[in-house]
Structure formats: C-alpha cells, structure tokens
C-alpha cells in the first residue's frame, strides 16, 4: 500500500478519534441527566415506582413531578443509550473523567430517595427485630413487631417472611437498627455507597492485574444503568456481596488463596449466591490454602451464627429453598411459560430449571478443570443462576457484571449486557400501552 | 508452600491426558467454543422472543384494561380514579370485571357497582355483558354479590 493511501485511511480514523471524546462526554452527561431526573421526580415521594419512605430527600422536592412509568422508562432508555455509547467509546474517556462521572452518579443517587424497592426497609426491620425487640429475625418476620415504625414501610409481600440474608449481613445491620428509621435508612445508603466504591476499586485492581484497561472496566460496572438506578438506588445488600466477591478475586490474583476463600465465605454469609465462586476457585487453584481458608472461615461463621441466632441462623439452605419457590413476572422462566401458552411457572418447571442449572455448573466446572478462565466460569454460573431463577429482580443480573468486565471470555460480557437489555425491554409495557 | 507442588498434584498429572487438569486451555479448542457459542445464541434468541412476546401480551392486556376503565366511566357516568379491574386469571379469558363506588368516597368504602366486560376493544371501549352490586367494604366474592343483571343474572352469579 502506498504512503498516500495509508494517509487517506488514517485521516478518517483520526477524525473518528477526535469525535470520540466529545461523544463519550455526551453519553456520560446523558446518564447523569437521566439518573438526576429519576432522583428529582422520585424525591416527591410515594408513587408506583417509589416505595413509601420517611421523607429523606425533601429538600429536592419542588423541582420535578411525581415519578410515573413514562418519565422513568424514558430516563431508563436514555441512561441505557448513554451507557451503550460509553461501552463503545470507553477508550476515549480519561481516568479523571471516569472517576468524576462515577462520583457524580453515586452522589446523585445517595442524596435522593430509595428507588424501586422496599428491600432496604426489610433490612432495617430485621435489624430492629433483633436489637430493639429482642427477637430472632430467622424465626420472626416483620409482622412480629407491627408497632415498629419501620413496619409500615416493609413491602406487603415480605411482612410475614423471615430473613433469608446471611448471618454476617444480619450482624452488620444490627447497629443500624438502633438509629431509628431515618438514621438507619441513611446508614444503609452509606453502606451501599461504600460497598459500591469498594467493588469499583477492586474491579480496577483486578482489571490491571489482567492487563485490561481499568478505566473501561470501572466505567462498565459503575455507570451501568441497572447498577446505578436499581442497585445503588435501592441500597441493596447485593453491593456488599459483590464487594466481597471482588475482594476474593483480587486476593486470588495476588496469590493469597486462604484470605480469598475467606472473602467468598464472608460474601456468602451476606448473601448465599456468591458461594457459587468457591467451586471454580478450588478447581482452578487446587490449593490447600484455599480449602483451609474456606473451611476456617465457614467454621467461624457457623459458630458465630449459631451462637447468636441458633440453628435457624445457620440453616441458610432452608431460606434459599423457600425463596426459590417465589415467582416474579420479570423472570425469564415466566416469560418462556407465557411463550408456550402456559399461565405461569409450575412445580415441574422449578425442577427442570434446577436441573438445567446443575448441568450448566457441571459443564463449567469441567471446562475450568481443563484450563478455562475460572473468573469467566464463575461469572457464567452467576448469570445462569439469575436467568434460571423464577424470582428475578434487576439487581440479580448485576452479580456477574464485575466478573464479566475482567474475564478472558468476551462472550460473558456480551451475554450479561444482553440479559440486562432484555430485562429493560421487558419493563417497557407501561410506556407502549399506559393504563389510563 | 503451595499445594501445587504436593503429591496430590503429581497424582493428578498421572491421569490420562484427557482428564488431567490444565492451567490454560489448549490452543485448538475452537470446536467446543463454536458449539457453546451456537448454544448461547439459540438460548439468547429464545429469551429475546419470550421477552418480546411478553411485552406484546402485556401491551394487549394494558390496552384492554384502559378500554375497561373508559367503559366503566362512560357507563356509570362517574369519572373516578380509583376503579379496580380484575382479569380472569383462572381461565385466561378476556372477560374482565371492573368495580368502583356508586357515590364519591374512598376506594371500596361505598356501595360498589361492578361491570362484566367482554369482546374486542372498539372505539376505545368494550361491551358490557352485565354486572352486579357489592356492599361497601366488601371484596368481589360471589357470596357478596347482589342485583345481578345481564349475563351474570342468566348464569345465576348472584346468590341473593
């Protein structure tokens, strides 16, 4: 090829590179504007999308209007378009701009109301059941203390349900129970924001360990619309679980197997799902330290849980079995049932889904044994858990995201975003046909 | 000392080559990668079709419910916001029941009039095939219904 021809080819590339940075800035601003719109409208208080809550964002009222499906879904689409732009143009975003964007998104959500979920009130209620009412949250649901001020805010479906969260999380939440409802709510928001910051910092570290661009990695996790709006917005404890999960990955990359295994176990004692990482770590590392770390941490966790909560605090399997029977309209299982003309998911479908999950995990374990990237395998397992679950919520499809951005299998990242995109598409019905 | 140097690891290396653990995948495992990718694409397509189908179903249901609410308001002459709609979730027909107060008041706190709506949406409304009344503060259960007319009366849906 002649020098002149090479020059002609390079010219459009140079122009594209010139446009990339301003376009990425526009995408970032689009996400910030969309999230700010949701927060400002949400600050007006209870609506179809904002749970009943103590007025913690009252100073933001008077700017927006009560959050309805139309505005929310348009903002969600805008944030998704902005995120898609960032995925494509991430390389042109500087480290400083990336951190500024993530800090802005975290600050906006932190200052706003609780979005889209009553879960945080369940967390507070379980804490208050333990520390204020002296009852065991593993044997007593919110209905055991109807006079408690937080009871009014707990979701209708969860009022009779005992906690399904791990004993470590329950212990972490106990001090917040002493702060009153508003104090506890702010405490939970601080905890979620810190957990998110730790998750992002560890994602950065892991990306560098794998010689990936850490700026793109943290952008893909921290600017993800579902992560920001649903995960952070709802102050979900999944963020704590994800921080411990990424801690385990970072420690494994540093060759510190025993603390890595302990970190996974700690994550599982917050929310059991993250235990899915452990078999892949064991198969890939085949390290004595990892096994000893896991056994030691599990033994300590079980002893403390048994001492504080009795046998019910240790029997997480029972809680998981109970939750596995739940069915949500957003689950892929329900959607496939509708596709085949069935009204919903039947008991046989639960069994088939569990079988499918076992087959997937066994295949992934075999692939890991034969040298496949264990981080990717663990990410696939978490994605498979969320896709085969009959109780699917937006924050469940965040679990594999930090693993996907650092894995050696590009397909995992594409599949994770595809599943998230399908989840968002499924929310669009009220926008296409609003009920008058 | 890492377990990697241990007797266990040496024993693993005595396994047949096809069963031995590896630290990295062998180059040339492209066939497996292609099969997995095809399976993933098929699963992805199934999920995408199921999602779109569900959105279309939901859109039709919302369209119908909007028509139900408009019909109730036009039929009763009350422009109330709090009107409840109930789908036939037992048999999955498109026969809906819409209930609302007969006079202004909090939801279900006054005598309610319920309409049974059938047929397709035409001009934003559906056909009223009959109805009944409910006492204040009562759910739409068969035993509370009274004053049936139209199709429900013919079917004997009112015990009193």
What ipTM does this complex have? 0.87
pLDDT at residue A337 is higher than 70: yes
Model pLDDT, residue A207:
95
Model pLDDT, residue A13:
60
Q: How confident is the model at residue A129 (pLDDT cuts 50, 70, 90)?
A: very high
Give A286's contacts in chain B (Cβ within 8 Å). Answer: 3-4, 8-9, 12, 21
Model pLDDT, residue A101:
95
| Per-residue CA distances from A393 to A230, A238, A398, B12 (Å) | 9, 11, 10, 42
Q: How confident is the model at residue A410 (pLDDT cuts 50, 70, 90)?
A: very high
Return mean pLDDT, chain A: 91
- A-interface mutation test, from B28, B50, B59, most A Cβ less than 10 A away: B50
Any residues with CB less than 8 A from the CB of B73 and at least 6 apart, and which?
Answer: B79, B80, B83
Cα of first residue to Cα of last residue in chain B, in angstroms, is: 84
Distance CA B157, CA B145 (A): 8
Does residue A415 belong to the interface with chain B, where contact is any CB pair within 8 Å?
Answer: yes
Contact check, Cβ <8 Å, B3/A288:
yes
Distance CA A290, CA A276 (A): 15
pLDDT at residue A333 is higher than 70: yes
Out of A286, A411, A425, closest to residue B4 by CB = A286
Distance CA B94, CA A194 (A): 49
pLDDT at residue A397 is higher than 90: yes
pLDDT at residue A14 is higher than 80: no
Q: How confident is the model at residue A8 (pLDDT cuts 50, 70, 90)?
A: low
Contact check, Cβ <8 Å, A338/B57:
yes
Out of B3, B47, B59, closest to residue A429 by CB = B59
Distance from CA of B55 to the nearest CA of A (A): 6
What b-and-e string marks burial along A212-235, b requiring 16 or more CB atoms within 10 Å of the CB?
bbbbbbbbbbbbbbbbbbbbbbbb
CB-based contact A262:A281 (threshold 8 Å): no
Model pLDDT, residue A10:
57
Give B25's contacts in chain A (Cβ within 8 Å). Answer: 370-372
pLDDT (mean) for A377-405:
95
pLDDT at residue B4 is higher than 60: no
Model pLDDT, residue A143:
92
Q: Any idea how long chain B is? A: 160
Contact check, Cβ <8 Å, B21/A287:
no
Distance from CA of B18 to the nearest CA of A (A): 9
Nearest to A163 by CA among A178, A141, A182, A193: A141
Contact check, Cβ <8 Å, A339/B53:
yes
Contact check, Cβ <8 Å, B58/A433:
yes
Query: Which of A171-175, A333-337, B66-70, B77-81 shows the lowest per-residue confidence on average (mean pLDDT)?
Result: B77-81
Distance CA A402, CA A208 (A): 13
Q: How confident is the model at residue A16 (pLDDT cuts 50, 70, 90)?
A: low
Give A425's contacts in chain B (Cβ within 8 Å). Answer: 51-52, 55
| Per-residue CA distances from A268 to A12, A202, A379 (Å) | 50, 18, 15
Model pLDDT, residue A3:
47
Distance CA A235, CA A238 (A): 9
Query: What beta strand segments (E) does chain B contain?
Result: 84-86, 96-101, 112-122, 125-134, 146-150
Per-residue DSSP letter, B25: P
**Left (φ > 0), alpha (ψ -120 to 50) or beta: where does A134 sit?**
left
Q: Looking up tokens 């993933």, which residue turns up? A: B40
| Per-residue CA distances from B153 to B65, B73, B88, B134 (Å) | 23, 22, 18, 14
Per-residue DSSP letter, A161: P
- B-interface mutation test, from A374, A386, A433, most B Cβ less than 10 A away: A433
Query: Which of A56-65, A94-103, A136-145, A198-207 shows the lowest per-residue confidence on average (mean pLDDT)?
Result: A56-65
Contact check, Cβ <8 Å, A428/B44:
no
Model pLDDT, residue B89:
67
Model pLDDT, residue A84:
94
- What is the torsion angle, in degrees rounded to the nearest 10, for the CA atoms of residue B143, residue B108, residue A430 and residue B45? -30
Nearest to A263 by CA among A212, A206, A214: A206
Contact check, Cβ <8 Å, B51/A425:
yes
Model pLDDT, residue A1:
47
pLDDT digits 0-9 by tens, A142-167: 999 999 999 999 998 889 988 989 99
Provide DSSP, A346-411.
Answer: -HHHHHHHHHHHHHHHHHHHHHHHTT--HHHHHHHHHHHHHHH-SS--GGGGGTTHHHHHHSS-HH
pLDDT (mean) for B97-114:
90
Model pLDDT, residue B1:
41
């Amino acid at each position: 090829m002649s020098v002149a021809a090479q020059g002609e080819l390079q010219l459009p590339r140079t122009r594209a590179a010139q446009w990339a940075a301003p376009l990425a800035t526009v995408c970032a601003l689009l996400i910030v504007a969309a999230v700010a719109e949701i927060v400002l409208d949400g600050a007006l208080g209870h609506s179809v999308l904002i749970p009943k809550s103590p007025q913690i964002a009252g100073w933001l009222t008077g700017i927006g209007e009560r959050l309805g499906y139309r505005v929310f879904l348009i903002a969600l689409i805008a944030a998704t378009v902005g995120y898609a732009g960032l995925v494509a143009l991430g390389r042109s975003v500087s480290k400083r701009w990336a951190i500024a964007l993530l800090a802005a998104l975290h600050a906006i959500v932190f200052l706003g109301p609780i979005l889209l979920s009553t879960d945080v009130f369940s967390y507070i209620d379980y804490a208050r059941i333990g520390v204020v009412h002296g009852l065991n949250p593993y044997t007593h649901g919110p209905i055991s203390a109807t006079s408690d001020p937080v009871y009014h805010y707990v979701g209708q479906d969860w009022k009779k349900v005992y906690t399904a969260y791990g004993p470590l999380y329950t212990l972490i939440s106990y001090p917040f129970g002493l702060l009153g409802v508003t104090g506890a709510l702010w405490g939970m928001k601080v905890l979620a924001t810190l957990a998110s910051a730790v998750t992002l910092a560890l994602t950065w570290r892991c990306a560098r360990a794998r010689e990936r661009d850490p700026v793109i990695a943290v952008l893909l996790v921290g600017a993800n619309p579902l992560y920001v709006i649903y995960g952070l917005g709802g102050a979900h404890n999944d963020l704590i679980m994800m921080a411990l999960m990424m801690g385990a990955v970072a420690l494994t990359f540093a060759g510190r197997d025993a603390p890595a295994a302990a970190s996974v176990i700690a994550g599982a004692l917050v929310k059991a799902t993250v235990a899915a990482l452990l078999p892949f770590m064991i198969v890939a590392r085949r390290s004595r330290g990892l096994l000893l770390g896991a056994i030691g941490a599990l033994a300590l966790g079980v002893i403390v849980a048994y001492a504080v909560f009795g046998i019910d605090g240790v029997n997480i399997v029972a809680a998981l079995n109970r939750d596995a029977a739940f069915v949500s309209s957003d689950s892929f299982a329900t959607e496939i049932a509708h596709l085949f003309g069935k009204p919903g998911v039947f008991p046989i479908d639960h069994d088939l889904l569990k079988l499918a999950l076992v087959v997937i995990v066994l295949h992934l374990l075999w692939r890991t044994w034969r040298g496949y990237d264990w981080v990717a395998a663990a990410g696939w397992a978490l994605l498979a858990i969320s896709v085969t679950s009959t109780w699917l919520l937006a924050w469940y499809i965040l679990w594999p995201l930090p693993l996907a951005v650092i894995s050696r299998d590009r397909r995992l990242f594409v599949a994770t975003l595809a599943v998230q995109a399908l989840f968002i598409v499924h929310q669009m019905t009220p926008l296409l046909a609003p009920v008058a | 000392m890492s377990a990697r140097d241990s007797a266990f690891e040496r024993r693993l290396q005595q396994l047949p080559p096809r069963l031995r653990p590896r630290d990295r995948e062998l180059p040339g495992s492209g066939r497996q990668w292609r099969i997995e990718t095809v399976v993933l694409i098929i699963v992805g397509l199934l999920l995408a079709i199921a999602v779109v189908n569900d959105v279309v179903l939901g859109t039709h249901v919302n369209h119908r419910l909007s028509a139900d609410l408009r019909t109730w308001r036009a039929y009763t002459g009350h422009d109330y916001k709090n009107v409840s709609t109930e789908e036939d979730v037992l048999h999955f027909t498109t026969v809906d029941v819409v209930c609302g107060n007969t006079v202004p008041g909090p939801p279900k706190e006054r005598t309610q009039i319920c309409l049974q709506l059938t047929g397709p949406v035409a001009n934003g409304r559906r056909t009223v095939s009959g109805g009944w009344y409910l006492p204040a503060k009562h759910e739409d259960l068969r035993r509370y219904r009274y004053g049936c007319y139209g199709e429900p009366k013919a079917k004997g849906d009112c015990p009193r």
